[in-house]
Amino acid sequence: MPKTISPLLLTLFCTSLLFVKPAMAELGGLANKEATQIQELSPIVATEQHLKVFQTKLPSGTQIKEFVNAENVVVGVSWQGPTLPNLKSLLGEHFDKFVNRPVAHSANHRSAELTTDELVVQSHGQMRNFAGKAYLPKLLPTGFNPDQIN
C-alpha cells in the first residue's frame, strides 16, 4: 500500500516553491553575481563597447543567458531547455508589456512575440523544447547585432 503525503505537508512544500527564486537577473536589472561568465561579444571591431554573457542553469535543465552591458545592466536574456523559465522573473518590469501585447490570430500557438522600440520578446517551443530571447534595443551598444542574443 503506497504511503500518502499529508495535505498540510503537500501545501507547505508547494508554497515553499513559490518563494524559491532561481539565481537569475531580470531584464533591465543588475547582473546576477552568481552566474558564470561564458563569453564577451563585441558589436564591431572599431568600438570598445562590449556585452558580457553570463549563463545560469535552472534545476529543470533550462539554460538562461544574460547579456550585460558595461554598466552591469542586463540588456538581453535568452533561454533554451526542457521547461519554459518563469518569464515574470526573467522579464521583470517588462513582463506586463509582453503579457498585454496585442495578439495576432495565427495557427501557430507555440510562439509569442512582441516587438517595440523599447522591448523585443520572442518565445517559442513545445513540451521539453523551449527557447526564446528578450532584449532592450535602446540599451544595446551601437552596432550590436541582436541576432547574437541566442
Residue 35 lies in a domain: yes
Report the C-alpha gap between 85 and 99 in whole angstroms: 15
- Amino acid 20: pLDDT: 38
* 61-111 pLDDT, tens digit each: 999 999 988 888 999 999 999 999 999 999 999 999 999 988 765 556 688
How far apart are the two ends of the chain, measured CA to CA in Å? 49
| Residue with the larger pLDDT of the pair 146 and 2 | 146
Residue 19 lies in a domain: no
Question: Considering all CA atoms of the chain, what is the largest pairwise distance in Å, rounded to the nearest integer?
Answer: 70
With 0-12 CB in 10 A as exposed, 13-18 as middle and 19+ as buried, what is 21? exposed
CA angle 86, 119, 129 (to 5 degrees): 40
Residue 123 lies in a domain: yes
Q: Which helix (H) or strand (E) holds 129?
A: strand 129-135
Mean pLDDT of 115-136: 94
* 2-61 pLDDT, tens digit each: 444 434 323 333 333 333 344 567 999 988 767 777 767 766 544 557 888 888 889 999
Q: Look-up: residue for cell 495565427?
A: 106
Domain limits at 52?
Answer: 24-148
Residue 6 lies in a domain: no
How many whole angstroms from its chain centre is CA 102? 21
Q: Which three cell numbers stand for residue 108?
A: 501557430
Mean pLDDT of 127-144: 92
Residue 50 lies in a domain: yes
- Amino acid 94: pLDDT: 95
Backbone phi, then psi, for 82, in 5-degree steps? Answer: -75, -20
Say if pTM beats, i.e. exceeds, 0.85. Answer: no
CA angle 53, 54, 56 (to 5 degrees): 145
Residue 16 lies in a domain: no
Report the C-alpha gap between 55 and 103 in whole angstroms: 31
Q: Considering its fold, how many domains does the chain have in total?
A: 1
> Minimal CA–CA distance to 81: which of 90, 92, 68?
90
Residue 77 lies in a domain: yes
Residue 14 lies in a domain: no
- Amino acid 105: pLDDT: 59
Report the C-alpha gap between 136 and 116 in whole angstroms: 9
